Chains A and B, each alone.
Chain A
Amino acid sequence: RKEVEQDPGPFNVPEGATVAFNCTYSNSASQSFFWYRQDCRKEPKLLMSVYSSGNEDGRFTAQLNRASQYISLLIRDSKLSDSATYLCVVTIYNQGGKLIFGQGTELSVKP
């Protein structure tokens, strides 16, 4: 089983749509959680941290469910500029804070 597993994608949605990505992690010692965004041929950039209480940043909402070991990212009112690959990242407390990346979910927002 992969340590971090994401929806395979790609997701093709029209502008204005709401889209949700899911991510599951296998190590219960996972400590911190993040969503990164990676544009084509560019480096990953931190989109948002994910807190136990959930957090929202504009059109983006991240949720964490420790009991079920999954993280979600919801994007409302999708824009063309949201097209990118979204990477789920967890840190493993008992592996010295090692970051584990998911394989990414590609999103394509169409006009």
Chain B
Amino acid sequence: ETGVTQTPRHLVMGMTNKKSLKCEQHLGHNAMYWYKQSAKKPLELMFVYNFKEQTENNSVPSRFSPECPNSSHLFLHLHTLQPEDSALYLCASSQPRQSSNEKLFFGSGTQLSVL
């Protein structure tokens, strides 16, 4: 148990559906992240929040919409996704960005399939 909880573990959705991924961390961290992991590819950073403020958006399509209501919770709202968006979506947390020893703690991920 890493202290970062993601739900749901698995999600199957159609291209017209709207769904949300949820992440909660119990580690007292102030930075939270969404990563995408597609088969045989490196982890791709999607969004970064530092102290609830979005500090990075890596050219992610608008069909992915993050929300960070507080330092412990992070959501990823999904709508009108494409089949190529099928991947493992990982949430992570760490001490604030720019710290000299940043280490990530990951949730178990949501395996998303878009039909």
Chain A residues with a Cβ under 8 A of chain B:
4, 31-32, 34, 36, 41-46, 49, 87, 91, 96-104
Would you call A42 and B101 a contact (CB within 8 A)?
A: no
Contact flag A102-B102 (CB < 8 Å), given A43-B107, A43-B109: no
Would you call A49 and B109 a contact (CB within 8 A)?
A: no
Interface hit among B13-21, B66-74, B77-85, B92-100: B92-100
Would you call B97 and A43 a contact (CB within 8 A)?
A: no
Would you call B106 and A44 a contact (CB within 8 A)?
A: yes
Chain B residues with a Cβ under 8 A of chain A:
2, 40-43, 45, 55-56, 90, 97-109, 111
Classify the interface of chain A: helix, strand, loop or mixed: strand
Which of A46, A91, A102 is close to B42, meaning CB atoms less than 8 Å apart?
A: A102
Would you call B42 and A99 a contact (CB within 8 A)?
A: no
Would you call B45 and A43 a contact (CB within 8 A)?
A: no
Would you call B101 and A44 a contact (CB within 8 A)?
A: no
